[in-house]
Amino acid sequence: MTDKNCWDYYGTKTLQVCPYMPGTPVYKDGMLPFLYTKAREEGKIEDTFCGDNLGMDAFVDFFVKRKTLQVLAEIEDDKTIKPVGFAWLDNPRGVDGQRAAMCGFCFFNDASKRDSARNLARLGLAYWMIAMKVDVIHGVQLESNIAARNFAEHVGFKEVAVVPKYHYSASAGELVGARVMVIEKNDFVPGFDKWIESQKVVATEV
């Protein structure tokens, strides 16, 4: 079994969570502009960033500063890594054993109609909880984004609140409600461990 502190652990024969950092195959020129352009073309920027209609420069700056981006990828038959989404953590707080953070996910249309999205979300959550030692993860969505709520519930999040007039929607030009979701390590990891063993995890050759 691959070391759980190594990012290679968080993948299967066909899927891989790749942190955007030196030493990984996704850390290369053009990756951040590619992710932005893909999300923009598919109309996902505003939903992903809770009403903010980020431009390219703001998107790149956002992830360069945070250094917690993961590229979510499918592994093709020839071992090519095909990005089909991205995820990140933000606003971490607490200490080991009592650490919480916010998260975000975006999946491109390539993955959204297959099991790839749900399984990559599971792998991403495990990476945050085990390798990055986050115990509680909160997700904040636009209240109107019912697809995001349903997806989050499928991978184990629970809805805990709706906050009226919390986000500013650039397209609507007004304040809109936010939905708060939460998932805890103690609830998620036991089921993930059983699932990942069934996938016969192997390190991806790159």
Per-residue pLDDT of the chain (206 residues; tens, 9 = 90+): 345 555 566 888 889 999 999 988 899 999 999 999 999 999 999 999 998 999 999 999 999 998 899 999 999 888 889 999 999 999 999 999 999 999 999 999 977 557 889 999 999 999 999 999 999 999 999 999 999 999 999 999 999 999 999 999 988 899 999 999 999 999 999 999 988 888 764 443 43
Distance set, CA 117 to CA 39, 74, 114, 155 (Å): 15, 10, 7, 10
Stated pTM of the model: 0.89
Q: Quote the CA–CA distance of 146 and 150 in Å, as a whole number.
A: 6
For residue 152 the two structure tokens come to 């989050």
CATH 3.40.630.30 fits domain 7-195: yes
Where do the structural domains in the chain lie, given as residue ranges? 7-195
